[in-house]
Amino acid sequence: MFRSLDDLLQHNTPLSTIVCGCGGGTEMTHILSAMMSRAQNLVLDADALNALALDASLQKIFRQRKLRHKATVLTPHPLEAARLLGIATPQVQEDRLASAQKLSEQFQCTVVLKGSGTVVAQPGQITAINPTGNALLATAGTGDVLAGWIGAYMAQGLEAYGAACAAVWSHGWVADHWNLGTQGPLTGSKLACASSGT
């Protein structure tokens, strides 16, 4: 987190993975083009998704990643998915499977549509509904942890769809086994520390 973007992108290897957008604010607009053009593996979350939804030129660069065999995962919650699809959030929620599939086809990447029964979609793969997780994950920061876990699995060599499925399952497993009485509220930092138990 203390290295410059140029430094990160100069040392690209087949397993180099960047997770982008968690708390990035409007700065995402300025750096997203370089990341999408040069990063080998990329996970886009939060502010990066908002920037992508608002900028047709960024969307064009994004779609070229697939042609250059660069892996990408988008991790929207329903509102972010709606912005990317240009529809209302209730329409996303009416058919979460179709929404995730449409996003994955539109952007030619892996999509993790977060929520109750998180959906993982990728063109050419069977769309998965994750069975783990509960309302404890509806806490600020837990989505950032999920994006980080997906990136970590990709950096270990898992392809995008497999990394997304594994991370989503692990993320939910921690919540399912969390004991509020002895462990207290499940925060993003506690969730990240608990990952070693999955």
Domain boundaries, the chain: 5-197
Give me the pLDDT at residue 15, please.
80
pLDDT of 155 > 60? The answer is: yes
pLDDT band at 195 (very low <50, low <70, confident <90, very high): low
The single-letter DSSP state of residue 125 is S
Residue range 144-150: average pLDDT? 97
pLDDT of 3 > 90? The answer is: no
The single-letter DSSP state of residue 174 is H
pLDDT band at 197 (very low <50, low <70, confident <90, very high): low
For strands 119-121 and 110-113, give the pairing: antiparallel
Residue range 132-151: average pLDDT? 95
pTM: 0.94
Residue range 11-19: average pLDDT? 84
Longest dimension (CA), the chain: 50
Tokens standing for 166?
């594994």
Residue range 124-149: average pLDDT? 96
Give me the pLDDT at residue 148, please.
96
- Return contacts of 183-191, CB within 8 angstroms, 24+ apart: 185/136, 185/139, 186/136, 186/137, 186/139, 186/142, 187/139, 187/141, 187/142, 188/139, 188/140, 188/141, 188/142, 188/144, 188/145, 189/141, 191/137, 191/141, 191/142, 191/145
In contact, 100 and 120? CB cutoff 8 Å: yes
Question: Does CATH number 3.40.50.620 belong to domain 5-197?
Answer: no
Residue range 66-88: average pLDDT? 96
Give me the pLDDT at residue 89, please.
98
pLDDT of 1 > 60? The answer is: no
pLDDT band at 138 (very low <50, low <70, confident <90, very high): very high
pLDDT of 109 > 60? The answer is: yes
pLDDT band at 8 (very low <50, low <70, confident <90, very high): confident
